[in-house]
Amino acid sequence: DGGITQSPKYLFRKEGQNVTLSCEQNLNHDAMYWYRQDPGQGLRLIYYSQIVNDFQKGDIAEGYSVSREKKESFPLTVTSAQKNPTAFYLCASSRGLNTDTQYFGPGTRLTVL
């Protein structure tokens, strides 16, 4: 079955630690995205990538980093510089950038202890 997988589903981190969230897709999509979701705020774009080895900052990129070494993979690192990292993180992909339908993974809930 084609789709997007995110791991882990739940992640706990101590303050001051970096943590990496995994996102893999087998839909052969070129574009991939990372969103952050907080209650009552909808989705906010962190980073996006149109093609391999290229990515762009979204609206709230500070304290996050990404890489896109393979078409299928777009991992997100939450660094210690992110002041309020506790949130639900969603990865998405689409055939083309932005205007095409975005398909979402199941999400990772990150809690900072």
- Least separation, in Å, of the C-beta of 16 and other proteins? 27
**Closer by beta carbon to other proteins, 16 or else 101:** 101
| Residues 47-86, interacting with other proteins (CB under 8 A) | none
Count of residues in contact with other proteins, rule CB under 8 A: 24
Residue 27, exposed/middle/buried by CB under 10 A (0-12, 13-18, 19+)? middle
Q: Which residues bind other proteins (CB under 8 A)?
A: 4, 6, 9, 33, 35, 40-43, 45, 88, 90, 92, 97-99, 101-107, 109
